[in-house]
Amino acid sequence: MTPPMLPSSTVENYLKAIYLGSAALAPPQRLLPMGQLATALGVAPGTATTMVKTLAESGLVRYEPYSGVALTASGKKLAALVLRRHRLIELFLVRVMGYSWDEVHEEAEQLEHVVSDRLIDRMDEMLGRPEVDPHGDPIPNADGSVKQQAVESLLTCPLQTTVTVTRVIDQDRSFLRFIESHDLKPGQAIEVEHRDAASDSVRVRGKNERRITIGMRAASKLLVQVAKTLVMFAIGASLVVGLPAVAAAQTAAADAGYPNTGPLSGYMDFHFNKVDHQPGVLDFHRFVLLMTHSFTPKIRFVGELELEHAFVEGLEESGELELEQAYVDFLLSRRINLRAGMLLMPIGIINERHEPPVYNGVERPFVDTVIIPTTWFDVGAGVHGELSGGFRYRAYAVAPLNSLEFTADEGIREGRQKGSNSNVRNVAYTGRLEYRRVRGLTLGASVWAGESSFSTPRLDTSVTLTEFDARYRRDRLELRTEFADVKVGDAGRLNDSIGRSIGIPPNVAKQLRGYYTEAGYRVWNAGSPRDLVAFVRYENFDTQFRMPDGLLPLKEFDRDAWTTGVTYYPDPDIAVKADYTRLRNRSGVFANRQVINVGLGWWF
Tens-place pLDDT, residues 293-317? 878 878 888 889 998 888 776 544 5
CA distances from 407 to 200, 373, 508, 536 (A): 54, 12, 6, 30
Domain ranges of the chain: 8-71, 152-225, 228-260, 264-603
How far apart are the C-alpha atoms of 460 and 379, rounded to whole Å? 22
**Is the pTM higher than 0.75?**
no
What proportion of the chain, given as a percentage, has pLDDT over 70?
A: 90
Neighbour count for residue 572 (Cβ, 10 Å) = 20
| Residue 350: band (very low, low, confident or very high) from pLDDT cuts 50, 70, 90 | very high
CATH topology of domain 152-225: SH3 type barrels. (2.30.30)
Looking at residue 264, its pLDDT comes to: 62
Give, rounded to a whole angstrom, the gap between the first and last alpha carbons of the chain.
Answer: 58
Assess contact for 266 and 234: CB atoms under 8 A.
no
What dihedral angle (degrees, nearest 10) is formed by the CA atoms of 244, 306, 600, 206?
100
How far apart are the C-alpha atoms of 235 and 563, rounded to whole Å? 36
Neighbour count for residue 111 (Cβ, 10 Å) = 17
Assess contact for 488 and 465: CB atoms under 8 A.
no
Looking at residue 312, its pLDDT comes to: 74
How far apart are the C-alpha atoms of 61 and 63, rounded to whole Å? 6
Report phi then psi at 167, rounded to 5. Answer: -160, 140
Name the 3-class secondary structure at 363. Answer: coil
CATH of 8-71, one of 1.10.10.10, 2.60.40.10, 3.40.1360.10, 3.30.230.70: 1.10.10.10
For every residue of 242-270, DSSP letters joined together read -HHHHHHHHHHHHHTT--TT-S-EEEEEE
More confident: 221 or 485: 485
How far apart are the C-alpha atoms of 550 and 251, rounded to whole Å? 64
Asked, colleague to colleague, whether 152-225 and 264-603 share their fold, the answer is: no
Average pLDDT, the chain: 85
Assess contact for 548 and 492: CB atoms under 8 A.
yes
* Residues comprising the chain, all counted: 604
Assess contact for 347 and 376: CB atoms under 8 A.
yes
Looking at residue 237, its pLDDT comes to: 42
- Whether 257 has a pLDDT exceeding 70, the answer reads no
Neighbour count for residue 536 (Cβ, 10 Å) = 15
How far apart are the C-alpha atoms of 354 and 205, rounded to whole Å? 16
Contacts of 295 (CB under 8 A, 6+ apart): 301
Looking at residue 589, its pLDDT comes to: 86
- Any idea which of 231-245, 310-324, 468-482, 495-509 has the lowest mean pLDDT? 231-245
- Whether 253 has a pLDDT exceeding 60, the answer reads no
Contacts of 42 (CB under 8 A, 6+ apart): none
Please give the average per-residue pLDDT across 409-426, as a whole number: 90
Neighbour count for residue 156 (Cβ, 10 Å) = 14
CA distances from 476 to 389, 533, 562 (A): 27, 9, 22
Please give the average per-residue pLDDT across 422-432, as a whole number: 92
| Residue 275: band (very low, low, confident or very high) from pLDDT cuts 50, 70, 90 | very high
Residue whose C-alpha is closest to residue 478's, from 515, 517, 514: 517
How far apart are the C-alpha atoms of 529 and 512, rounded to whole Å? 41
Please give the average per-residue pLDDT across 229-254, as a whole number: 40
Please give the average per-residue pLDDT across 100-111, as a whole number: 87
Cα 456 to the center of its chain, rounded Å: 41
Neighbour count for residue 206 (Cβ, 10 Å) = 17
More confident: 527 or 22: 22
In 178-262, beta strands by DSSP E: 189-196, 201-205, 211-215, 222-225
How far apart are the C-alpha atoms of 74 and 11, rounded to whole Å? 13
- Whether 238 has a pLDDT exceeding 70, the answer reads no
- Whether 221 has a pLDDT exceeding 50, the answer reads yes
| Residue 372: band (very low, low, confident or very high) from pLDDT cuts 50, 70, 90 | very high
More confident: 443 or 116: 443
Please give the average per-residue pLDDT across 527-554, as a whole number: 90
Tens-place pLDDT, residues 131-167? 888 898 889 988 888 877 778 888 888 888 888 898 9
Residue whose C-alpha is closest to residue 353's, from 432, 236, 415: 432
- Whether 598 has a pLDDT exceeding 90, the answer reads yes
How far apart are the C-alpha atoms of 302 and 304, rounded to whole Å? 7
Please give the average per-residue pLDDT across 53-65, as a whole number: 86
- Any idea which of 317-321, 372-376, 455-459, 507-511 has the lowest mean pLDDT? 317-321
Assess contact for 127 and 133: CB atoms under 8 A.
no
| Residue 229: band (very low, low, confident or very high) from pLDDT cuts 50, 70, 90 | very low
- Whether 456 has a pLDDT exceeding 80, the answer reads no
Neighbour count for residue 278 (Cβ, 10 Å) = 10
- Whether 250 has a pLDDT exceeding 60, the answer reads no
Looking at residue 234, its pLDDT comes to: 42
Measured at the CA of 360, the angle between CA 599 and CA 211, to 5 degrees, comes to 130
| E strand or H helix at 216 | helix 216-220
Which residue type is seen at 173?
A: R
How far apart are the C-alpha atoms of 453 and 461, rounded to whole Å? 5
Measured at the CA of 434, the angle between CA 432 and CA 436, to 5 degrees, comes to 165
- Whether 208 has a pLDDT exceeding 80, the answer reads no
Task: For domain 264-603, give the CATH number.
Answer: 2.40.160.10
- Whether 255 has a pLDDT exceeding 50, the answer reads no
CB-count exposure of residue 145 (10 Å: 0-12, 13-18, 19+) = exposed
Cis? peptide before 570, omega within 30° of 0: no
